[in-house]
Structure 1
Amino acid sequence: MKKIQILLLAISLSLAGCYSDRDDLNPNANNPSVPEIPQETENQFISEDGEVYSTGLECSGNGNYNIDAENLLESLVIPDSLPAAFDLSENLPPVGDQGALGSCVSWATSYYLKSFQEKVESGLPYSEANIFSPSYIYNQITTDECGGTSIPETLALIEEQGVAALELFPYTDNECETQPDEAVIAAAEEARIADYKGLSGENMLAEMKTLITQQQPIVIGAVLSPEFGITDSFGLSAYREHAVNYEDATCHAMLVVGFDDDVNAFKVVNSWGEAWGDNGFVWIDYQAFENVGDTDASFRVINQAYVAYDL
């Protein structure tokens, strides 16, 4: 009997060693060349065909619209008439792909918005010298977590520091630990914003259309359900009215760059590459923006909207 007990004790000690969580038994532990990218479901969108895309916007995910009362857009003059369609996308940089990181906010703001602003101002063709890096702001905010970030926090840092061009601080989609040095930070000051404001959610369609006709794209936060990006009756990759199950939703930041009354939707650039959607774009139904103040609506997916003015 004693021999059996000793044998069982030896086996249990051996198994304990097999399940040890010691770092020296983990080949990836403390190895900066093997970054640990978080795979939380709140930072992922899974399409109907099973494709997985990264998101990364910090939000409640319940469809409620966030009003930034201390930094509200006011006194915007709405013209008596607005065009039936308007499109700013010709001045955007090439559609990009955020990859595995939860960096959608920095793609919407640093890469698309800031690059657009500098292109409109300079008129120069795009290159890595005047396309701005999502990693510059994202890495400073998220450090080594590689998780989600907020729109106002990102815009505040762009206002304070600016953004570095890709040639100075390349985007990497598998790590977020690299930080800019003093020279890169100094160069980024040339690409700051003057101010940013949140939209109140009132008279949303008219305000957004007015801003777009004034060459001002709008950064939005959206709750994504599995219906996001499905082809609609116009043949467009779109986000049309439906009853949203918020338990299956995730939050994502994008840039609104146009509108078209014929399809009753705003044109939005995404950060999942050109192979997704309509060459990287999606159309979000006007109703999504009209519903921001309607607590009874079942299609409440726009949870914040910001405009940022160039310095």
Structure 2
Amino acid sequence: MKLLPAVLSVLLFTEVGMGFPLFAAPGVSKGVFKRATRYPVDHRIGNNSELIENLSRQIHTDYVNMISGDLFQTILKDVEDYCQAHEIPLSDLVGNRTLTHSIVDGILSSQEVLQGTVVHQTMSSVAKTVSLPKAFDSRKLNWVTPVRDQGSCSSCVAFATAANIESSLLASSKASSVAPVIVSPSDIFFCLGSGDANCNDGWDISVAAADVSSAGYVQEKCFPYHDTQQPCPAKEGCHRRTNIKSTSLFDINDIKHFILKHGAVVTAIVVYEDFYDCCQNDQVYRYRRGALQGGHAIACIGWDDSRNAWLCKNSWSTTWGTNGFFWIAYGECGIMGEVMGYSTK
């Protein structure tokens, strides 16, 4: 088994037309854009669209440059040779960062030529990379709650945050049949975000993360959702849970490992007009045409390196995309330019 083709497959996303499954909206001919159904976007995120897109491209470009570099490939070959010599199947490294790091550390200590800060950082990156599966989907482990509908309110940050918390709780339970906790996005948006978040403009992922980490969350039954601006009600008898913490993530491998362990992350994307009517039949979305509409927050629940894409959960109901889910190309439209992950304490 060789890791090299699987690892280098992510290089394909850097150029359009290199085997990438591009999305074309149904009924759209060349040069003509079909006006699609409008969904709510987050203008607070949209105001930072250029920054988010630049960060997304840079993060993915840095990752591609790293895994295609000579030092990374040299260390990767050393890991493969070590596993072959010691009869360790490379598949045993997937999901086992302890074993992988022990092998990499052994290689590092046995070769004087492999020294220095850069080498140690690359060694760590190799260990993270080879211990990841080529594809992962939290739905297959029953770590994903049903897709919901935010309606006409720009409350996507609250829905994406709730989705991540729900997945993290399911992942931490270690049981496939546990009843999911349904988190109240209304509480996150209208109570924790009171005076800041609003249905017209939206909210910020990082601000929501700080508030949830500090104040916790309540279940949906304590504050049912309606897609209009609401005051925060008195919630007598509702238990506020504070067993959640948030983490900022900046590295592709770290993001994937977080999803692998906790089920999801929250990230922002930039919405263009063709996104409104995209992503049917599990097609991978890449921007083709249409004007900038704003920003959007979604929960990412997996990836597939053979498709060079992230798997995400939206909050525009199950009638959008593929039953409410969608694939988006690596480095596309700001994906992973800003990332927060929620995990249990």
TM-score (normalizing by structure 1): 0.66
Which of 45, 56, 62 aligns to 2:49? It is 62
Partner of 2:190: 139
Which of 286, 289, 306 aligns to 2:330? It is 286
Q: Map 1:41-52; keep pairs closer than 5 Å.
A: 48-52=34-38
Q: Map 1:84-123; keep pairs closer than 5 Å.
A: 84-89=134-139, 90-110=142-162, 112-122=163-173, 123=175
Q: Distance in 2 between matches of 1:117 and 1:53?
A: 27
1:83 deviates by 1.4
1:264 deviates by 1.5
RMSD: 3.0
1:250 aligns with 2:323: no
Native 8 Å contact 1:114 1:191 kept in 2 = no
1:220 deviates by 0.4
SS in 2 for 1:108: helix
Partner of 1:173: 227
> Structure 1 residues 309 and 119, CA, compared in 2 at 3 Å: closer, same or farther?
closer
Q: Distance in 2 between matches of 1:256 and 1:286?
A: 12
Unaligned 5+ runs, structure 2: 1-32, 56-120
Aligned residues: 236
Native 8 Å contact 1:142 1:149 kept in 2 = no
> Structure 1 residues 199 and 57, CA, compared in 2 at 3 Å: closer, same or farther?
farther
Partner of 1:36: none
Partner of 2:74: none
> Structure 1 residues 142 and 107, CA, compared in 2 at 3 Å: closer, same or farther?
same
> Structure 1 residues 223 and 212, CA, compared in 2 at 3 Å: closer, same or farther?
same
Native 8 Å contact 2:298 2:314 kept in 1 = yes
> Structure 1 residues 82 and 241, CA, compared in 2 at 3 Å: closer, same or farther?
farther
Q: Distance in 1 between matches of 2:223 and 2:136?
A: 33
1:218 aligns with 2:265: yes
Amino acid of the structure 1 residue aligned with 2:51: N
Native 8 Å contact 2:38 2:276 kept in 1 = no
| Greater RCO, CA 8 A, separation 6+ | 2
TM-score (normalizing by structure 2): 0.60
Which of 216, 233, 237 aligns to 1:162? It is 216
Q: Distance in 2 between matches of 1:199 and 1:121?
A: 19
Native 8 Å contact 1:241 1:287 kept in 2 = no
Q: Distance in 2 between matches of 1:227 and 1:210?
A: 31
Which of 290, 293, 308 aligns to 2:342? It is 308
1:125 deviates by 4.0
Partner of 1:38: none
Q: Distance in 2 between matches of 1:213 and 1:301?
A: 18
Shift >6 Å, 4+ stretches? 74-77
Q: Distance in 1 between matches of 2:316 and 2:204?
A: 19
> Comparing both structures, which one devotes a greater share of its residues to strand?
1
SS in 1 for 2:50: coil
Q: Map 1:143-154; keep pairs closer than 5 Å.
A: 143=195, 145-147=198-200, 148-154=202-208
Q: Distance in 2 between matches of 1:241 and 1:50?
A: 14
Q: Distance in 1 between matches of 2:283 and 2:223?
A: 32
Native 8 Å contact 1:107 1:271 kept in 2 = yes
Native 8 Å contact 1:101 1:173 kept in 2 = yes
Higher mean alpha-carbon deviation, 91-100 vs 221-230, is at 221-230
Native 8 Å contact 1:216 1:309 kept in 2 = no
Q: Distance in 2 between matches of 1:231 and 1:169?
A: 32
Q: Distance in 2 between matches of 1:181 and 1:214?
A: 32
> Structure 1 residues 87 and 180, CA, compared in 2 at 3 Å: closer, same or farther?
farther
Q: Distance in 1 between matches of 2:264 and 2:43?
A: 18
Amino acid of the structure 2 residue aligned with 1:150: D
> Structure 1 residues 302 and 214, CA, compared in 2 at 3 Å: closer, same or farther?
closer
Give aligned-pair identity as a percent: 26
> Structure 1 residues 219 and 301, CA, compared in 2 at 3 Å: closer, same or farther?
closer
Deviations 1:167-187 (A, max 9, x none): 222112233223343543xx1
Deviations 1:56-92 (A, max 9, x none): 362224331398xxxxxx9997243421110112311
SS in 2 for 1:91: coil
> Structure 1 residues 142 and 51, CA, compared in 2 at 3 Å: closer, same or farther?
farther
Amino acid of the structure 2 residue aligned with 1:304: E
Deviations 1:192-214 (A, max 9, x none): 413x22233xx53x332222222
Instruction: Work out which of the two has the higher radius of gyration on C-alpha atoms and give 1 or 2.
Output: 1
Amino acid of the structure 2 residue aligned with 1:63: E
Q: Distance in 2 between matches of 1:79 and 1:236?
A: 25
SS in 2 for 1:252: strand
